[in-house]
Chains A and B, each alone.
Chain A
Amino acid sequence: MSGSSNLVAMKKVVQQLRFEASINRVKVSQAAADLQQFCMQNALHDPLLTGVSSSTNPFRTQKLCSFL
Chain B
Amino acid sequence: MGEMDQMKKEAEGLKSQIEAARKAAADTTLADAASGVAPAPRVQLKTRKTLKGHLAKIYAMHWATDCRLMVSASQDGKLIIWDAFSGNKINAVPLKSSWVMTCAYAPSGNLVASGGLDNMCTVYNLKTPVVKTVKELDAHTGYLSCARFLSDTEILTASGDTTCALWDIETGKQKTVFLNHVGDCMCLALSPDMNMFISGACDSLAKLWDIRDGTCKQTFQGHTSDINAISFFPSGNAVVTGSDDCTCKMYDLRSDQEVISYQDAQLNSGVTSLALSVSGRLIFAGYDDFNCNIWDSLKGEKVGVLSGHDNRVSCTGVPQDGMCVCTGSWDSFLKIWN
Contacts and interface: CB of A to CB of B under 8 A. Distances in A.
Interface string A23-45: 10111111111111011111101
B277 interface: yes
B48 A60 contact: yes
A36 B49 contact: no
A49 B318 CA distance: 13
A23 B37 contact: no
Given A35-B298, A57-B338, A59-B338, A21 B21 contact: yes
B90 interface: no
A68 interface: no
Contacts, number: 173
B21 A25 contact: yes
Interface string B215-239: 1111100000000000001110110
Interface residues of B, number: 65
Given A25-B22, A48-B325, A14 B282 contact: no
B23 to A, nearest CB: 10
B180 interface: yes
B279 A43 contact: yes
A40 B37 CA distance: 9
Given A29-B28, A32-B34, A59-B336, A21 B14 contact: yes
A18 interface: yes
Nearest to A56: B323
Contacts of A35: 30, 233, 235, 237-238, 252, 259, 280, 297-298
B27 A49 contact: no
B281 A46 contact: yes
Contacts of B265: none
A32 B300 CA distance: 13
B89 interface: no
Interface in B4-38: 4, 7-8, 10-11, 14-15, 17-18, 21-22, 24-30, 33-34, 37
Interface of B: 1, 3-4, 7-8, 10-11, 14-15, 17-18, 21-22, 24-30, 33-34, 37, 40-41, 43, 45, 48-49, 68, 84-85, 180, 215-219, 233-235, 237-238, 252, 254-257, 259, 277-282, 297-298, 318, 321-325, 336, 338
21 contacts: A14-B11, A17-B14, A25-B21, A26-B255, A28-B27, A28-B28, A28-B30, A29-B33, A32-B33, A32-B252, A35-B235, A36-B298, A38-B233, A38-B235, A38-B237, A43-B281, A46-B279, A47-B324, A48-B324, A48-B338, A49-B282
Given A3-B1, A58-B85, 14 more contacts: A20-B18, A28-B33, A35-B233, A39-B280, A42-B279, A46-B278, A46-B322, A48-B277, A48-B325, A49-B277, A49-B281, A52-B338, A58-B68, A59-B336
